Amino acid sequence: MRSSAHIVLFGFFVILVFPEFAASITRHYTFNIEYLNVTRLCHTRTILSVNGKFPGPRLIAREGDRVVVKVNNHVSNNVSIHWHGVRQLTSGWYDGPSYVTQCPIQRNQSFTYNFTITGQRGTLLWHAHISWLRATLYGPIIILPKRNDSYPFPKPHSEIPILFGIIYIHIIYIINIKVLIYVYILICMHGSCIAGEWFNVDPEAIISQALQTGGGPNVSDAYTINGLPGLFYNCSSQDTYRVKVKPGKTYLLRLINAALNDELFFSIANHTLTVVETDATYVKPFDATTLVIAPGQTMNVLLNTHPHSPNATTFLMTARPYFTGRGTFDNSTVAGILQYHHHHHHKDNFTLLITPTLPPINATNFVANFTSKFKSLANSKFPANVPKKVDKKFFFTVGLGTSPCPQNATCQGPNNNTKFAASVNNVSFALPSVAILQSYFGGSNNNNKNYQTDFPTSPLNPFNYTGTPPNNTMVSNGTKVVVLSFNASVEVVLQDTSILGAESHPLHLHGYNFFVVGQGFGNYDPNKDPSKFNLVDPIERNTVGVPAAGWVAIRFLADNPGVWFMHCHLDVHTSWGLRMAWLVLDGPGPNQKLQPPPSDLPQC
Supply the range of the domain harboring residue 35.
26-149
Distances (CA, A) of 197 to 20, 218, 259, 300, 332: 29, 13, 6, 21, 11
Number of domains in the chain: 3
> Could you tell me if 306 and 402 lie in one domain?
no
- Provide the pLDDT confidence category of residue 303 given band limits of 50, 70 and 90: very high
Are 244 and 142 in a shared domain? no
Note whether residue 431 is domain-resident. yes
H, E, C per residue of 230-291: CCCCCCCCCCCCEEEECCCCEEEEEEEECCCCCEEEEEECCCCEEEEEECCEEEEEEEECEE
pLDDT tens-digit map of 84-116: 999 999 999 999 999 999 999 999 999 999 999
Whether residue 206 lies inside any domain: the answer is no
317 and 364 fall within a common domain: yes
The pLDDT assigned to 315 comes to 96
3-class SS at 327?
A: coil
* Phi–psi pair at 456, nearest 5 degrees: -65, 135
Say if CB 535 and CB 517 are below 8 A apart: yes
Distance CA 387, CA 381 (A): 18
Q: Per the domain annotation, does 43 fall within a domain?
A: yes
Buried b (16+ CB within 10 A) or exposed e, 305-341: beeebbeebbbbbbbbbbbbbebebbebbbbbbbbbe
Question: Do 368 and 398 fall within a single domain?
Answer: no
Q: Is-contact 321 362, C-beta < 8 A?
A: no
* 156 confidence band (pLDDT: 50, 70, 90): confident
pLDDT of residue 344: 55
Instruction: Tell me whether residue 125 is in a domain.
Output: yes
**Are 399 and 466 members of one domain?**
yes
> What is the reported pLDDT for 192?
39
**Last residue of a domain, which of 149, 169, 202?**
149
Percent of the chain beyond pLDDT 70?
88
pLDDT band at residue 165 under the 50/70/90 scheme: low
* Shared domain check, 136 and 50: yes
Residue 194 pLDDT level (bands cut at 50, 70, 90): low
* pLDDT attached to residue 176: 29
pLDDT band at 166 (very low <50, low <70, confident <90, very high): very low
301-327: average pLDDT: 92
pLDDT band at 171 (very low <50, low <70, confident <90, very high): very low
Q: What is the pLDDT of residue 309?
A: 87
Question: DSSP 3-state assignment of 557?
Answer: strand
Q: What gap in Å lies between CA 550 and CA 546, rounded to an integer?
A: 7
pLDDT digits (tens, 9 = 90+) for 371-385: 999 999 999 999 999
Shared domain for 347 and 482, answered yes or no, is no
Considering the domain architecture, whether residues 281 and 422 belong to the same structural domain is answered as: no
410 and 552, same domain (yes or no)? yes
Do both 426 and 369 map to the same domain? no
What is the average pLDDT value for the chain, to the nearest integer? 89
Residue 47 maps to a domain = yes
Flag whether pLDDT at 31 surpasses 90: yes
Contacts of 525 (CB under 8 A, 6+ apart): none
Of 114, 149, 184, the domain-final residue: 149
Best CA proximity match to 95, nearest among 567, 462, 478: 567
- pLDDT-above-90 percentage for the chain: 81
Predicted pLDDT of residue 187? 28
Determine, yes or no, domain membership for 39.
yes
Look at residue 59 and tell me whether its pLDDT is greater than 80.
yes
Q: Dihedrals φ, ψ of 291, to 5°?
A: -110, 155
Residue 569 lies inside a defined structural domain of this protein: yes
Shared-domain flag, residues 114 and 235: no
Q: Which of 143-152, 294-303, 341-350 has the lowest mean pLDDT?
A: 341-350
| Mean pLDDT (whole number) for 9-34 | 65
* Stretch among 13-22, 71-80, 150-159, 445-454 having the lowest mean pLDDT: 13-22
Residue range 458-465: mean pLDDT, rounded: 96
Q: Which of 131, 149, 167 is the last residue of a domain?
A: 149
Q: Report the relative pairing of strands 481-484 and 579-584 from DSSP bridges.
A: parallel
Q: Look at residue 422 and tell me whether its pLDDT is greater than 90.
A: yes
Q: Are 277 and 283 in contact (CB under 8 A)?
A: yes
Residue 516, domain member (yes or no): yes
573 membership: H or E segment, kind and range: helix 571-576
In this predicted model, what pLDDT tens digit does every residue of 488-544 receive, in sequence order?
A: 999 999 999 999 999 999 999 999 999 999 999 999 999 999 999 999 999 999 999
Which of 576, 259, 603, 237 minimizes the C-alpha distance to 419?
576
pLDDT at position 256: 93
Q: Find the mean pLDDT for residues 561-567.
A: 98
Is 35 in the same domain as 116? yes
CATH code where residue 486 lies: 2.60.40.420
